[in-house]
Chains A and B, each alone.
Chain A
Amino acid sequence: MLQEGISGVGLKRKSGEVMEMIKAGSSLAAALATTELDVSQLWLRYFAVGGGCSRQALKSYLTGTIDWSAHEHDVVVLALNEYFLEQGLDHPVRYAEDMDD
């Protein structure tokens, strides 16, 4: 059974592998706000590159209501960066794994 996620605390999957939960949705929400995309459009792009969570879960993560795994966070980062690339910009959103030491 998963405990309430706290940033930095590892949680175990069924397979025994540790899954890090983070609460960094607000940084993604801020990046999203600089685009013309709404959450539904972001979700579709996130889904297209392999994202596994529902649209509602994405909304909850962006508003800070729930934690997500660092991996799913990075899938959203990828989706956002690909959008920026399409606009001719660099990929400005950092990946969660790059934020760890």
Chain B
Amino acid sequence: MAGTPESEHRGMPSSDYCGQPLHLEDLAGLLGRIARDLDTEKTLDETMRALVAAAVDAIPGAEAGGITEVRGHGQQIDVRFASDQLVRELDTAQEVLGEGPCLDAAYQHRTVRVNDFQTDERWPAFAARAHERGIGSMLAIQLYVDGDDLGALNLYAYQPNAFDDESEQIGLLFATHAAIAMAGVQRERQLRVAISSRDIIGQAKGILMERYKLTAEQAFAVLTRASSESNIKLRKVAESLAATGTVPGS
């Protein structure tokens, strides 16, 4: 497939989209459900697992689904969460075959719909494998971009033509909310680690301030010097001081 600028296709429906409108009442209820399902109190794993379950439940036509991470430009595929083993097999098959809707969705930043694996000619090897396993249609939506790693949400149905415009609209809503929720979970985790680090460094500064009658800045300078002279990270120097009472290298 020819390369296209990222901005053109990300978050947009597939080439099969006909422009059917989504009813507003349904939309409000759906967003509420998604928000409740994607609670940032959960860990990232729990969030993704909940997302797959919610997506399979809410996206019209979906009977199975999974989240797949693609790395190294399709060289490596990691099925992060799958509603069942079949999904895992099919997502992994794309890595072996080097082709598939999920790969295209991830790398071309688009939504990809396969209405009928028997007649779709875009991925002949993958289509044959899917058809063999009883899958009729599929919807692949780009979920996130994390450096060189890309994530896609894949939905499968046993019948052909199971997905329609509404499926795509709801799928895209899911993708947006999921991306925000995942960023939130990740941010919270990072902050927790940072706060823990600050705390231990604060303890070390306090020890030095009391012991040598230093200001906080002077104590920090002592720790920094110990860290750069020994090539040990400041946090480790601080941990060592708090645990043993001595600064490495002093």
Chain A residues engaging chain B, CB cutoff 8 angstroms:
17, 44-45, 47-50, 71, 74-75, 78, 81-82, 85, 91, 95, 97
Give the complex CA separation of A74 and B219 in angstroms.
Answer: 13
**A17: which B residues are within 8 A, CB to CB?**
215
Cβ contact within 8 Å between A91 and B235: no
Given A78-B224, A95-B221, output 4 extra A-B contacts at Cβ < 8 Å: A49-B197, A78-B234, A81-B228, A85-B231
Q: Which residues of B contact A49 (CB under 8 A)?
A: 197-198, 201, 234-235
Query: A91–B202 Cα gap in the complex (Å)?
Result: 23
Q: Judge if B194 is at the interface, Cβ distance under 8 Å.
A: yes
Please state if A91 and B228 are interface contacts (CB–CB under 8 Å): yes
With A and B bound together, what is the CA distance between A45 and B205 in angstroms? 18
Hey, what's the 0/1 contact readout for B190-221 against A, CB within 8 Å counting as 1?
Answer: 11011001100110010000000001010011
| Interface residue? B233 (CB, 8 A) | yes
Q: Are B198 and A47 in contact (CB under 8 A)?
A: yes
CB atoms of A74 and B231 under 8 A apart: no
Q: Is the interface of A mostly helix, strand, loop or mixed?
A: helix
Partner of A44, one of B190, B202, B217, B233: B190
Cβ of B49 to closest chain A Cβ, rounded Å: 27
Residue B227 CB within 8 A of the other chain: yes
Of all chain A residues, the one with the shortest Cβ separation from B194 is: A48
Bound CA span A53–B197, Å: 16
Please measure, in the bound complex, the distance between the C-alpha atom of A81 and the C-alpha atom of B231, giving whole angstroms. Answer: 10
Question: How far is A52 from B149 in the complex, measured between Cα atoms in Å?
Answer: 33
The CA-CA distance from A91 to B194 in the complex, in Å, is 21
Complex: A3 Cα to B218 Cα, angstroms: 24
The answer to whether A48 and B193 touch across the interface, beta carbons within 8 angstroms, is yes
- Given A17-B215, A71-B220, residue A47 in contact with residue B233 (CB < 8 A): no
Chain B residues with CB under 8 A of A47: 194, 198
Q: Which chain A residues border B233 with CB–CB below 8 Å?
A: 82, 85
Q: Let me know if B228 and A74 touch, CB within 8 A.
A: no
Nearest 8 CB-CB pairs, A to B? A48-B194, A48-B197, A71-B217, A50-B201, A47-B194, A49-B234, A78-B224, A50-B198
With a CB–CB cut-off of 8 A, which chain A residues contact B227? Answer: 78, 82
Interface pairs (27), CB distance under 8 Å: A44-B191, A47-B194, A47-B198, A48-B194, A48-B197, A48-B198, A48-B235, A49-B197, A49-B198, A49-B201, A49-B234, A49-B235, A50-B198, A50-B205, A50-B220, A71-B217, A71-B220, A74-B221, A74-B224, A75-B220, A78-B224, A78-B234, A81-B228, A82-B227, A82-B234, A85-B231, A91-B228
